[in-house]
Amino acid sequence: MSIIDLPPGMVLILAAMVAVFLPHNIRRIVLIGAPVFGFLQLIDFPPVAISASFFGMELTTVRVDGLSLVWGYIFYIAAFISGIYHMHVNDRMQDVAALSYMGSAIGVVFAGDLVTLFVYWELTAITSVFLIFANRTEESYQAGMRYLLVQIASGVLLLGGIVMFWQEKGTVAFTAMELDGLATWLILLGFGVKAAFPLLHTWLPDAYPQGTVSGTVILSSFTTKMAIYTLVRGFPGTEILIWIGVIMALFPLVFAMAENDLRRTLAYSLNTQLGFMVVAVGIGSDLAINGVAAHAFAHILYKSLLFMAVGSVLYRTGTAKVSELGGQWPNMKLTAILCMIGALSMSAPLFASFVSKSLILSSVAKDQQLLVWILLLFAAAAVFVNSGLKVPYAIFFAKPRGGQPREAKREPANMTLAMIIGAVLCIGVGSPWGYQYLYDILPNQMEYAPYTFGHVITQLQLLLFAALGFFWLVRSGRYPFENGAAIRDVDWIVRVPVMRVVLAINAFLGAAGRLVRSGLVECVHAVIDLADRIVGSNGVAARHVMVGTGVLWLMVMLLGYLLVYLF
């Protein structure tokens, strides 16, 4: 097998193994060279299914088709942009973790069976956590451990489901499944944890803001979108996903608005966009599946651009908190423009998401899901407000909270370059002249024209009125209101009351254990004392007695035995 024949994703994993031994200058060439090589390899990769036998199971270790290719292309593009953004960082651990994590995520989307999928799935969990640990703070360590626990739990659910699925169906092929038993429910839950289903989502806003500046950019592109791919592949048309998706799209809206940490704001906003994709998976029509693929593609581009912009602000000013920012426009005009391109790419005409999210909304409308459609429309406007308007406004245009804007140091040129590439792609994919390139790689044939007069004007109306409402609240003094306080999500239940109960049980069991141990020790001491009194050097049995006395005692014992025997 030559390197050209390697499974997609393996190029990055091998690059990670090599990077362990390389100096920084060569490592950063590997960081951007490996994704380019992988992308070129993928372009030439024929539609194929490579099979192998493993412990009696027929595995399809590589499956290249229209659906997996969309994710493969965008993952390599994201790896390339992230590599450029990250290349000034001289940290071997981050480089190796990033390459192996991105390679594993690509491995997931080309896995044709559940066993291969599981192996890559777990690799993404184990490798990605180092991008959080790499921040090397107590908070990032704790968030990383929580993240790891959740990710491993997802793997355990998935493994349990796969084993049961194999026993029931006699196959581990990764194709569309029905929710007809515990096995598929477990698999869906395993996917759902990484896709940030409602109540399983808290790892997302908890962990992503604790990553390093570039680590968070990398994390934002892969794990959740990989999980969306598995849902598209495994559960298209599963109706329960429609309402799961609606809840995902709606509940983070207020959290994103209320958050003080802008990376947490973006994480919640990311969760909303995942909701759109999950709804479309639930719809399951050709148009909806195309919508998921297109929106995953566009979302990776613009969300990573937003994370890069906020990361840049964090790098230059030392904070990403609304309560410490404001008035940065004179200091970082280019970053502001790039950030606004990322923000407009959420919905506005000429930008990425305009041509992708509309596929999802149209598929919902065509499926006659009126209420779902209305709720998604509401979510689309609200997410534009809570991150599309809030993020650039809070950083660049709001009055500085401390009276004066914070000092901003210069950023490395590679960070700026990565953001420019991201912005160009956001415009390129969403423009009337570029969207067809995206549509051409979608898995299903369709006739869809996003740039109709009605669509453009309605979208403009939606966004302009949303902006009007937001800025009216700004002028009336009701916003901004962030004051440095943190917002509790539902994980507060686990982290505070449940943790208190666990600690109380732990303390109780510890005390009981100590009590039992001390009781046992006392018992043992008592037995030893007793034995010592009987057979010790001064014990009864050790005394010197006359032979006659001994015979007398023997007779007494025999007499006792005789009495017992007779009566």
The footprint of other proteins (CB under 8 A) covers 253-255, 257-258, 361-362, 365-366, 370, 373-374, 377-379, 381-382, 385-386, 397, 453-454, 457-475, 478-479, 481, 483-488, 492, 495-496
* HSE of 190, CA atoms in CB hemisphere, 13 A: 24
Closer to other proteins by CB, 162 or 381: give it.
Answer: 381
Closer to other proteins by CB, 163 or 467: give it.
Answer: 467
Closer to other proteins by CB, 404 or 483: give it.
Answer: 483
End-to-end CA distance of the chain: 93
In sequence order, the 6+-apart residues with CB closer than 8 A to the CB of 409 are: 315, 316
Closer to other proteins by CB, 244 or 257: give it.
Answer: 257
Closer to other proteins by CB, 472 or 553: give it.
Answer: 472
Q: What sections of 87-111 are H helices per DSSP?
A: 92-109
Say if CB 201 and CB 223 are below 8 A apart. no
Closer to other proteins by CB, 379 or 415: give it.
Answer: 379
Closer to other proteins by CB, 304 or 459: give it.
Answer: 459
- The residue among 172, 155, 128, 300 whose CA lies nearest residue 228 is 300
Say if CB 380 and CB 460 are below 8 A apart. no
* Least distance (Å) between residue 390 CB and other proteins: 9
* Least distance (Å) between residue 454 CB and other proteins: 6
Task: Tell me how crowded residue 563 is: count the other CB atoms within 10 A of its CB.
Answer: 9
* Least distance (Å) between residue 161 CB and other proteins: 32
Closer to other proteins by CB, 364 or 415: give it.
Answer: 364
* Least distance (Å) between residue 453 CB and other proteins: 7
* Least distance (Å) between residue 461 CB and other proteins: 4
The residue count of the chain comes to 567
* Least distance (Å) between residue 494 CB and other proteins: 10
* Least distance (Å) between residue 383 CB and other proteins: 9
Round to whole Å and give the CA distance between 382 and 384.
5
Q: Angle, to 10 degrees, between the axis of helix 333-344 and the axis of helix 413-430?
A: 30
* Least distance (Å) between residue 152 CB and other proteins: 22
Round to whole Å and give the CA distance between 232 and 176.
8
Round to whole Å and give the CA distance between 535 and 542.
6
Round to whole Å and give the CA distance between 175 and 157.
18
Round to whole Å and give the CA distance between 336 and 345.
14
Structure tokens at 173: 């092929």
- The residue among 334, 337, 101, 87 whose CA lies nearest residue 213 is 87
**CA separation, residue 117 to residues 58, 67, 122, 319, 533 (Å):** 13, 15, 9, 38, 69
Closer to other proteins by CB, 411 or 482: give it.
Answer: 482
Give the angle subtended at the CA of 558 by the CAs of 556 and 564, to the nearest 5°: 105
In sequence order, the 6+-apart residues with CB closer than 8 A to the CB of 425 are: 77, 301, 352
Closer to other proteins by CB, 278 or 382: give it.
Answer: 382
3 state DSSP class of 520: helix
**Dihedral angle over CA of 475, 477, 478, 483, nearest 10:** 130
Closer to other proteins by CB, 11 or 306: give it.
Answer: 306
Structure tokens at 139: 């908070």
* Least distance (Å) between residue 139 CB and other proteins: 9
Structure tokens at 471: 């800025």
* Least distance (Å) between residue 26 CB and other proteins: 41
**Dihedral angle over CA of 77, 80, 82, 83, nearest 10:** 170
Round to whole Å and give the CA distance between 348 and 354.
6
* Least distance (Å) between residue 468 CB and other proteins: 5
* Least distance (Å) between residue 84 CB and other proteins: 34
* Least distance (Å) between residue 250 CB and other proteins: 10
Give the angle subtended at the CA of 427 by the CAs of 425 and 433, to the nearest 5°: 105
Closer to other proteins by CB, 287 or 418: give it.
Answer: 287
Closer to other proteins by CB, 164 or 467: give it.
Answer: 467
Round to whole Å and give the CA distance between 238 and 254.
27
Closer to other proteins by CB, 15 or 287: give it.
Answer: 287
Say if CB 79 and CB 102 are below 8 A apart. yes
Structure tokens at 68: 């997996």
* Least distance (Å) between residue 354 CB and other proteins: 14
- The residue among 159, 67, 85, 66 whose CA lies nearest residue 117 is 159
